[in-house]
Structure 1
Amino acid sequence: MMLPSPFMDAFGIQAGDTVAIAGSGGKATLMYRLAAEAVIRDYTVITTSTTHLHPPTSLQTNGLYITEEISNWLQVIPGELDRHQHVTVLGGRPRPDKLRGLSLKDLDLLKKVCRPDLCLVKADGARTRLFKAPGDHEPVVPAWTTHGMVVVNLHAIGLPLSEKYVHRPDRVAGLTGLQLNDPLTISTIAQVVSHPTTYFRAFPSGTNVFLYLSCCADKPQRAQAEAISNAIPANTFAGVFCGDINRSQAAITTLRESI
C-alpha cells in the first residue's frame, strides 16, 4: 500500500519535475524528505546541489557519487540510479564534511543521461545560519526548474541581526531598514523573502515558487507562521506552508495558496 506523501502533495510535485530549494534553516532536510516520499511513489530520484552540501547519511540517500572521483561518471551513474532508485550526486569533496556541488552544465548532462523521475537541487547555502538574504550570484537555479522552494526557519524570529545568526546581515539591513543587532521580526522576514531582488529573480519564468516555514512544532510557532504569511503581499508565492519534518510524524500545513 502506498504511504502518504504530504509534502509532495502540498507542493504539487509530480514525475518529470525539478525542484530547486533555497533559503536557510532546513533546505537539505526538506530535500531528503521529498526524496523519501518520491521513492515511496516508485520514482527514481537524484538529489544534488549547485553550491555545497554536507555528506548525506545512509538514511538520507541510497548512494553517494562524486563526479571528480569517477572518470566515466556519465556512464556509471545511470545504472546506479536504476539499481538504487535514489542517488545523490556531487562534483567534489574539498573536505570530509563538505561536498562541492555540480556546475549547471554537469547537472544538465546528468539529467539528460539519467532521466530521473524527480531531480531535487539544493540551490544555495546559508553557512548554518538560521536566516539569510541571498547574494547577487545565488540561488543557482537550473533553467528547467519547475518548482522553487524558499525555506525560512521560524527559530530565526527574535534573533539579533548579526553574523552569528544571519548570513549577509548587511544585505538584510539594506533591504529592510533594520539596524544591525536589532531582533529579526516577522515583518523583516516577510520583506526579505518577498523582495523581487532576493529569490524571485533567480527562478525561471513560470516556475511555481513556494515559501516553506520550517520547524513549526507548536501553536505559538504556528501563529508566527501565520503572521509571516499575512505580512506577504497576496499572490507573491504560489503557496505558503509551515511544517516540521523532524517530528516522529512529519506534517505540513497550508497557510495560503495562490494557484
Structure 2
Amino acid sequence: MVKNYEEGLLTEQNSLSEALHINSKNPVISVTGAGGKTTLIRTMAEEYRKRKIPVIVTTSTHMLAEDRPWFLTEPSEEKAVQILKAEGMVWAGLPAEHGKIKALPQKFLDRLLTLGYPVLIEADGAKKLPMKVPADHEPVILPETTHVLCVYGLDAVGRPLSEVCFRTGTAAEILDMKTTDPVKERDLAKLAFDCRGGRKGVLPYMEYRVILNKADNTKREQTAYRICRLAEAQGHTGITVLARGNSNQ
C-alpha cells in the first residue's frame, strides 16, 4: 500500500515512484531519518529496474552489505557498468566493519554521477528505531542531492519516547516533553518538518518529502492521516504513507 496525502485525503498510488513525484531522468535521492531506509531504497531500486531504468545505490554513511551479484565493493567504473548492464542496478560502497559498506571515494562517486542514471543514497543511521534526531554531523546529505526522503515509523506513536527514538534527549528538548512521555501524533508531525529534525541539512534547492512507514492496519493509517492533517495545519505538505510490505526495516 502506497498513499499520498493530497487535498485532505490519503489517495492510493500505483507505485512508490508515482507517489514521490520524481520526474527528473537522473535524480540523486538521499534517504534519511529512522528505520526503514534500506527497504525503501530497495523498493525504489526494484521499481526502476522493472521499468528498465538502470539505477545506482550507495551510501554516504554505512549500510548493510549483501551477498548479491549487484553489490560492488571496489571503486571500479568498468565493473559498475558491467553490473548495471547485467543486473539493472549496482549497489556500491567500500568494505566496512560488521558486514557493512561505507561511502565511496568522491572521485569515483563523481564518475558514477556522470553516467546519468538515478542514484539512491542511504544518508543516515537510526539503529532501526522508528524516530530519529540527527547528531551535529548528521545526516550526510551530499550537495548533488536533488530529493530528500525522510522516514518515520508510525509504530512510535503511543509509546514512550525513550523506547522509540534515537537520541532521545535531543528529541525531548525539541518537542518539549519528557523522555518517559508517550509520543503523540503532533510530536511526529513537528519533528518531521523541524530544521533540527527531519529537515536538518536539506538545502533550498532540494525537494523534501516525509515517508510515514508501517501503516500496517486501519488504526495506523488513521494515525498517519491525523499526522498529515497536523502537518498541513503547520503549512507543511509532501507526505507519503507506506504499509510494512513497502518499508519494514
Question: Kindly tell me: are residues 181 and 221 of structure 1, through their superposed partners in 2, closer, same or farther at Cα, counting changes over 3 Å?
Answer: same
Matched letter for residue 107 of structure 1: L
Show the 5 A alignment for 1:81-120.
81-96=84-99, 98-102=100-104, 106-112=108-114, 115-120=115-120
Contact kept in structure 1, 2:132 and 2:197, CA below 8 Å: no
1:9 aligns with 2:18: yes
Counterpart residue number, 2:56 = 46
Shift of 1:105: 5.3
Percentage identity across paired residues of the two chains: 24
Whether the 8 Å CA contact 1:144–1:204 is kept in 2: the answer is no
**CA separation in 1, counterparts of 2:96 and 2:192?**
31
Q: Mean Cα displacement is larger for which, 80-89 or 21-30?
A: 80-89
Verify the 8 A CA contact 1:104 1:142 in the aligned structure 2.
no
Matches of residues 1-259 of structure 1 in structure 2 within 5 Å? 6-14=15-23, 15-56=25-66, 58=68, 62-67=69-74, 73-96=76-99, 98-102=100-104, 106-112=108-114, 115-162=115-162, 164-232=163-231, 233-237=233-237, 239-246=238-245
Q: Structure 1 unaligned runs (5+)? A: 252-259
Q: Indicate if the aligned counterparts of 2:73 and 2:93 stay in contact, CA closer than 8 A.
A: yes
User: 1:66·1:92 contact (CA, 8 Å) conserved in 2?
Assistant: yes
TM-score by length of structure 1 reads 0.82
SS, match of residue 124 in structure 2: coil
Measure the CA separation in 2 of the matches of 1:105 and 1:161: 41
Counterpart CA distance in 1 for 2:216 and 2:107 is 39
Question: What secondary structure, in the 3-state scheme, does the structure 2 residue paired with 1:241 have?
Answer: strand
Q: CA deviation at 1:84?
A: 2.0
Q: Which has the higher contact order (CA 8 A, sep 6+)?
A: 2
Where does the alignment leave 5 or more consecutive residues of structure 2 unmatched? 1-12
Which amino acid is the alignment partner of residue 141 of structure 2?
Answer: V
Question: Aligned equivalents of 1:128 and 1:57: distance in 2?
Answer: 21
**Whole-Å separation in 2 of the counterparts to 1:22 and 1:53:** 12
